[in-house]
Amino acid sequence: MASRICIRRIISIIVTFVSFLLLVSFSSFPALASAGGGSNGTRVAFRSGEELLRFQRIKAHLDKMMNASVKTIQSPDGDVIDCVPSHLQPAFEHPKLRGQKPEDAPTERPRITAVHGDADAAAEAADDGEQGLPQAWWRSGESCPEGSIPVVRTTEDDLLRASSVGRFGMKARGGGFARRDSTGGGHEHAVGYVSGAHFYGAKASLNVWPAQVASPAEFSLSQIWVISGAFGHDLNTVEAGWQVSPRLYGDKSPRFFTYWTNDAYQETGCYNLHCSGFVQTSNRIAIGAAISPISAYNGRQFDITILIWKDPKQGHWWLQLGSGALVGYWPSSLFTHLGARADMVQFGGEVVNARPPGAPHTTTQMGSGRFPGEGYARAAYFRNAQVVDWDNSLVPAAGLRLKADRPGCYDIAGGSGGAWGAYFYYGGPGRNARCP
């Protein structure tokens, strides 16, 4: 017995000593070269040996993606796009997906319920077409070959901007979804939601804005959530929309994003392709890339149409942009509750207010930064909010309930009828006379 205790103590001492050596040696050097090829000269301080090892694992993963690339595209906005063979994408490093290849597109998509009516504003909304989503990197004139997917290159600078290496590419624990009774972790929402039934997907069109974000620790997004499980416990979600996040992306451009979790944002899931899980099938859409063009105040409006639905045959949750472009899917094996169906669907906006309690509210904008009362071409909107029913049919989101956590900061107002079906305007400027 004594010998076993002695051995355990020796092992513990060795592990502690090695971790100490790693911390000392690594923090003595400047950060490694970014994607641009030069050193940024920043000294790296890791809080533990475990965080250092995670950094090294992520770095090895990033190098693997870059080395696997069959083509590299320089985007005019500064992004670097690597064309990675689809079977080598991050998804297939997940234990439940290893050895797999991307599934074929579903043979049956949700049946569309025609929406009739007359709305001049609807005619002005841009159609994003079969290609799905216009992005800044398209202006390069280059594209990824068939059999590969475009991956926005993640640099070490991106990693070092994160609040911690361990949470890179993830939302904060306990935040990220609209809890209908309060805000959580500084997350504030203005959403429309349906619940109390079984849902198999959702669809809506939302216009894209250059929302102003007050600090790198904050973000502004607009998205669809497909949800099942218990809030704050074992929540399952799949999510997609647009987001402005200086910390995650290094700039203030609105970017297309995806997210998923199966444990209420605790330890699973991530944005985009920052962890294994989401399987991308498109060679035209770069998840995490900037959207271009975008809406202008009192000018032309550009919106994107997002459809998420559960394939009745394979059970995966597929993501479609525009009128037909498939981005990829979240495998059903990733989830517990969403393995069967969703219990709630939400549409709307979310911001993070990182200001300390008692301080003035953040000026981070939601949507266009204007309140719903300003209407079309001024306020942000969702139109034609629909859900997928048990028969794989798209039907209007009947009984859509509207909820704003702090109406004086970010509000929501809507209606139904005409070419816009179920719709709402939402958003606001954050700090103002009604939101001190």
Average pLDDT, the chain: 85
Strand-pair category, 317-321 with 303-310: antiparallel
* Greater model confidence, 314 or 183: 314
The pLDDT of residue 30 is: 29
Say which range, 139-148, 180-189, 253-262, has the weakest mean pLDDT: 180-189
- The mean per-residue pLDDT over the stretch 306-316 comes to 97
The pLDDT of residue 65 is: 84
Contact assessment for residue 348 and residue 191, using Cβ atoms and an 8 Å cutoff: yes
* Greater model confidence, 88 or 34: 88
Share of the chain above pLDDT 90, in %: 70
- The mean per-residue pLDDT over the stretch 300-317 comes to 97
Burial zone of 9 (CB within 10 Å; 0-12 exposed, 13-18 middle, 19+ buried):
exposed
C-alpha span between 328 and 323 (Å, rounded): 15
Look at the pTM and tell me if it is higher than 0.75: yes
Nearest to 166 by CA among 58, 45, 297: 58
pLDDT of 249 higher than 80: yes
* Greater model confidence, 356 or 176: 356
The pLDDT of residue 180 is: 46
Active site residue 93: no
Nearest to 372 by CA among 299, 424, 436: 424
Phi, psi of 419 (to 5 degrees): -70, -20
pLDDT of 22 higher than 80: no
* Greater model confidence, 228 or 166: 228
For the ranges 13-17, 170-174, 232-236, 262-266, the one whose mean pLDDT is highest: 262-266
Say which range, 35-39, 211-215, 356-360, 368-372, has the weakest mean pLDDT: 35-39
For the ranges 122-126, 311-315, 321-325, the one whose mean pLDDT is highest: 311-315
The pLDDT of residue 401 is: 97
The pLDDT of residue 26 is: 33
Active site residue 156: no
pLDDT per position as a tens digit, 381-408: 999 999 999 999 999 999 999 999 999 9
Write the single-letter amino acid at 395: V
pLDDT of 143 higher than 60: yes
pLDDT of 171 higher than 50: yes
Task: Give the active site residue among 156, 188, 218, 239.
Answer: 239
The pLDDT of residue 28 is: 29
Contact assessment for residue 419 and residue 362, using Cβ atoms and an 8 Å cutoff: no
- The mean per-residue pLDDT over the stretch 50-59 comes to 80
Task: Give the active site residue among 156, 188, 218, 350.
Answer: 350
The pLDDT of residue 294 is: 97
Please, what is the Cα angle at 33 between 28 and 38, to 5 degrees? 115
β-partners of residue 383 are 205
Contact assessment for residue 93 and residue 165, using Cβ atoms and an 8 Å cutoff: no
Please, what is the Cα angle at 102 between 101 and 104, to 5 degrees? 125
pLDDT per position as a tens digit, 95-118: 999 999 999 999 999 998 655 433
pLDDT per position as a tens digit, 192-229: 999 999 999 999 999 999 999 999 999 999 999 999 99
